[in-house]
Chain A
């Protein structure tokens, strides 16, 4: 029979288990000595409990891990030296074509119709008139042979060219004291970067790869290439740039990846 007593804690079940369970399992309970328990906890078997498949998915664990990730954003912002240049490489090291990477397969890339494409501007920007690709091609270009490093661990050297993002932001009268610059892709991809990284001399709005317009799978007509961020911070097929002080959660951050993602 069950014993009912007033709940002392919100987490204590209002109905306690039947006492006969205790009687039936008394022998087992007696067999669990403290020493054995300690040994069990210390054994590698106990340690393997740490690997439980859903440990990191539980929301309380996720809260802690994501707040540490937020702390790591701050540390990375502090470590970031706006004048520190990433290593550059020789023309002979350029990989052609560049490595394709997206959250979907290359066959599923939705090519941009260049006749209707315009680069939209929004947020803390004075001149928000959209840009055609010809207008962007007409801007002074910077060429850089830099390494693309993916969060997965692979890397390759590529030659990218296009206007410096800093020059572009100055030209359109963006608020350079704003916190974030967002890049919205042709798909549902959005990633934002911090203003300091946006103004870095090796952050460009790339229109060309190895001297030719970027191929469709790699971001035609416009993508971000920055030498100071991991690969997923380099959105392809950009259709809009937004300057803002509001943090909006990007495509990969929604899934738990780190926001700053600085190299």
Chain B
């Protein structure tokens, strides 16, 4: 077998979404959904907002104990996978390449463009300012969910975390708001991925190969 074929150099170029990143993306997708759906069932046992209950048909877990089992199983996948993603993003230069620089003026302009359905997304390899904002935002909210989650899980051992959220109920409220933000992000993210299917295909097959700079 020879490596000197024409095109060998081209196939050796990394794809936009390398295999390890795609694996982490879909692992996170499953873990997030487990966390959200089981979290809804746990929430139902003591609601923060009187009128808001999540219907039993859309939650994970028949009783609260099953939802808790799922939640405290999913958390390991979410945290281990999330840490791997952060280390990878920082070490590989992916965050630097895709998420910065980000100028507030650009964000504002593109939000307006987006609302007029004129947002540029022709180039898969470059995220526009709205994408950058959403992706940076969802990473930060993910971190906030882990911190507020640990505070709720261990309010005595990590009482300093509870203090960040005022008190135990404050931590629950922040955890709920973080969940809501993630669900909103998911709706936008999935809708846009379906509207621009090549982005979805790229997250499955790897997408275009990137030229070295």
Contact = CB atoms under 8 A, between A and B. Distances in A.
A216 B169 CA distance: 28
Interface in A122-161: 147, 149-155
Interface in A51-89: 51, 53-57, 64-66, 68-69, 72, 76, 79-81, 84, 86-87
A47 B187 CA distance: 13
Contacts of A155: 168-169
B66 A256 contact: yes
B182 interface: no
Interface in B88-135: none
Interface string B160-183: 001000001100100000000000
Q: How big is the B interface, by class?
A: 35 or more
A241 B185 CA distance: 51
Interface centre among B37, B60, B67, B73 (most CB of A within 10 A): B73
Contacts of A54: 62
Contact of A56 (B62, B76, B155): B62
Contact of B46 (A38, A57, A152, A227): A152
Given A56-B70, A65-B69, A51 B57 contact: yes
B61 interface: yes
Chain B interface, DSSP helix/strand/loop, else mixed: helix
A44 interface: yes
A3 B37 CA distance: 44
A247 interface: no
A169 B86 CA distance: 48
A72 B72 contact: yes
Interface in A8-53: 38, 42, 44, 47-48, 50-51, 53
Contacts of A257: 65, 68
A81 B33 CA distance: 33
A262 interface: yes
Contact of A228 (B33, B66, B72, B156): B156
A252 B162 CA distance: 26
Given A65-B69, A68-B76, A84-B156, A50 B64 contact: no
B142 to A, nearest CB: 18
Contacts of B56: 53
Interface string B16-45: 000000000000000001100100001101
Q: How big is the A interface, by class?
A: 35 or more
Given A50-B34, A55-B60, A228-B156, A147 B168 contact: yes
B46 A153 contact: yes
A153 B33 contact: no
Given A47-B33, A256-B65, A258-B68, A68 B154 contact: no
A262 B68 contact: no
Contacts of A150: 46
A92 interface: no
Interface centre among A65, A69, A81 (most CB of B within 10 A): A65
A79 B154 contact: yes
A150 B46 CA distance: 10
Nearest to B169: A155
B184 interface: no
23 contacts: A42-B200, A50-B33, A53-B57, A55-B60, A56-B62, A56-B66, A65-B69, A65-B70, A72-B72, A80-B157, A81-B157, A86-B159, A87-B156, A87-B162, A151-B45, A152-B46, A153-B42, A153-B45, A153-B172, A154-B46, A255-B63, A256-B69, A262-B154
Q: Which 3 A-B pairs have the closest CB atoms?
A: A153-B46, A56-B66, A256-B65
